A and B are shown apart, each in its own frame.
Chain A
Amino acid sequence: MICVSVCMGTGGISAGGDKVFHNFEAELLKHDIEATVNKGCSVHQVGCRGLCAKDVLVDVIANGVKSTYEHIKPDMVMKIVEEHLIKGAPIKEWLVKEDYHNFNAKQMKVVLEDCGVVDPEDIESYIERGGYQAVKKVLTTMTPLDTVETIKRSGLRGRGGGGFPTGLKWEFAVKNHADQKYIICNADEGDPGAFMDRSVIEGNPHSVLEGMIIGAYAIGATKGYVYIRAEYPLAVERLRIAIKAAKEKGFLGKNILGRGVDLEIKVKLGAGAFVCGEETALIASIEGKRGTPKSRPPFPAQKGLFGKPTVINNVETLANVPQIIKRGADWFASIGTEKSKGTKVFAITGKIKNSGLIEVPMGISLKEIIYDIGGGMEDELAFKAVQTGGPSGGCIPASMIDLKVDYESLAAAGSIMGSGGLVVMNEGDCMVNIAKFFLEFTQLESCGKCTPCRIGTKRLFEILTRITEGKGRKGDIEFLIDVCNDVKATSLCGLGMTAPNPILSTIKYFRREYEAHINEKRCPAKVCNALLTFTIDKEACTGCTMCAKTCPASAIEGDKKKPHTIISDKCIKCGSCFDVCKFKAVNKE
Chain B
Amino acid sequence: MSQKITINNKVLIVEDGLTILQAARANNIYIPTLCEDPRLEPYGGCRLCIVWVEGMPRPATSCTTPVTDGMVVKTHTEYIEKLRKTIIEFMLSDHPNDCMMCQKTGDCRLQDLAYKYDANYTKFVGVRRNYPIVDDNPFIHFEPNKCVLCGKCTNICQNLVKTGTIEMTKRGFYSKPDTAFSKPRTPENCQFCGQCISVCPVGALSERPSLGKGRRHEMKLVRTTCTYCGTGCNFYLNVKDEKVVKVTSDYDAVVNKGNLCIKGRFGYEFIHHPDRIKTPLIREGDGYREASWDEALTLVSTKFTELIEKYGNDSVGAFSSSRCSNEENFLIGKFARTVMGTNNVDNCARV
Q: Is B170 on the interface with A (CB-CB < 8 A)?
A: yes
Most B CB within 10 A of own CB, among A292, A451, A452, A483: A451
Residues 104-124 of A, flagged 1 when their CB comes within 8 A of B and 0 if not, give 000000000000000000000
Also in contact, A295 and B171, with CB within 8 A (given A458-B127, A489-B83, A492-B47) = no
Q: How many angstroms from the CA of A273 to the CA of B94 in the assembled complex?
A: 24
Give every chain A residue within 8 A of B168 (Cβ-Cβ): 290, 292, 448-449
Give every chain A residue within 8 A of B172 (Cβ-Cβ): 443-448, 454, 458
Q: Are A290 and B90 in contact (CB under 8 A)?
A: no
Q: Which of B123-173 contact A (CB under 8 A)?
A: 124-127, 148-149, 151, 167-168, 170-173
Give every chain B residue within 8 A of A462 (Cβ-Cβ): 125-127
Q: Are A459 and B93 in contact (CB under 8 A)?
A: yes
B106 to chain A: closest CB distance in Å? 23
Q: Are A449 and B86 in contact (CB under 8 A)?
A: no
Q: Which of A447-466 contact B (CB under 8 A)?
A: 447-452, 454-456, 458-459, 462
Q: How many angstroms from the CA of A295 to the CA of B64 in the assembled complex?
A: 7
Q: Is B258 on the interface with A (CB-CB < 8 A)?
A: no
The interface on chain A, measured as residues whose beta carbon lies within 8 A of the other chain's beta carbons, has a size of 30
Give every chain A residue within 8 A of B91 (Cβ-Cβ): 451, 455
Q: Is B175 on the interface with A (CB-CB < 8 A)?
A: yes
Give every chain B residue within 8 A of A102 (Cβ-Cβ): none
Also in contact, A490 and B171, with CB within 8 A (given A462-B127, A483-B86) = no
Q: How many angstroms from the CA of A462 to the CA of B173 in the assembled complex?
A: 13
Q: Is B87 on the interface with A (CB-CB < 8 A)?
A: yes
Q: Which of A486-537 contact B (CB under 8 A)?
A: 486, 488-492, 497
Residues 22-45 of B, flagged 1 when their CB comes within 8 A of A and 0 if not, give 000000000000000000001011
B70 to chain A: closest CB distance in Å? 16
- A455 partner, pick from B45, B93, B170, beta carbons under 8 A: B93
Q: How many angstroms from the CA of A405 to the CA of B66 in the assembled complex?
A: 37
Q: Is A73 on the interface with B (CB-CB < 8 A)?
A: no
Give every chain A residue within 8 A of B170 (Cβ-Cβ): 448
Q: How many angstroms from the CA of A452 to the CA of B88 in the assembled complex?
A: 9
Q: Which of A284-309 contact B (CB under 8 A)?
A: 290, 292, 294-295, 297
Q: Is B276 on the interface with A (CB-CB < 8 A)?
A: no
Give every chain B residue within 8 A of A446 (Cβ-Cβ): 171-173
Also in contact, A452 and B90, with CB within 8 A (given A458-B126, A486-B83, A489-B59) = yes
Q: Are A448 and B173 in contact (CB under 8 A)?
A: yes
Q: How many angstroms from the CA of A451 to the CA of B86 in the assembled complex?
A: 10
Q: How many angstroms from the CA of A450 to the CA of B86 in the assembled complex?
A: 13
Q: Are B126 and A459 in contact (CB under 8 A)?
A: yes
Give every chain B residue within 8 A of A273 (Cβ-Cβ): 171
Q: How many angstroms from the CA of A462 to the CA of B86 in the assembled complex?
A: 17
Q: Are B167 and A492 in contact (CB under 8 A)?
A: no
Also in contact, A450 and B47, with CB within 8 A (given A455-B93, A459-B90, A489-B59) = yes
Q: How many angstroms from the CA of A26 to the CA of B168 in the assembled complex?
A: 54
Also in contact, A492 and B59, with CB within 8 A (given A446-B173, A448-B175, A455-B91) = no
Q: Is B244 on the interface with A (CB-CB < 8 A)?
A: no
Q: Is B117 on the interface with A (CB-CB < 8 A)?
A: no
Tell me the A residues contacting B by CB distance below 8 Å: 273, 290, 292, 294-295, 297, 443-452, 454-456, 458-459, 462, 483, 486, 488-492, 497
Tell me the B residues contacting A by CB distance below 8 Å: 42, 44-48, 50, 58-59, 61, 64-66, 82-83, 86-87, 90-91, 93-94, 124-127, 148-149, 151, 167-168, 170-175
Beyond known contacts A447-B171, A488-B58, A492-B45: 14 more, CB 8 A cutoff: A448-B168, A449-B168, A450-B47, A451-B45, A451-B87, A451-B90, A452-B86, A458-B127, A459-B93, A459-B124, A486-B82, A490-B50, A490-B86, A497-B58
**Could you jot down 13 A-B contacts, CB within 8 Å?**
A295-B44, A445-B172, A447-B171, A449-B45, A449-B175, A450-B45, A450-B47, A451-B46, A451-B48, A454-B173, A486-B86, A492-B45, A492-B47
3 cross-chain pairs, A with B, having the tightest CB-CB distances, nearest first? A448-B175, A295-B64, A295-B44
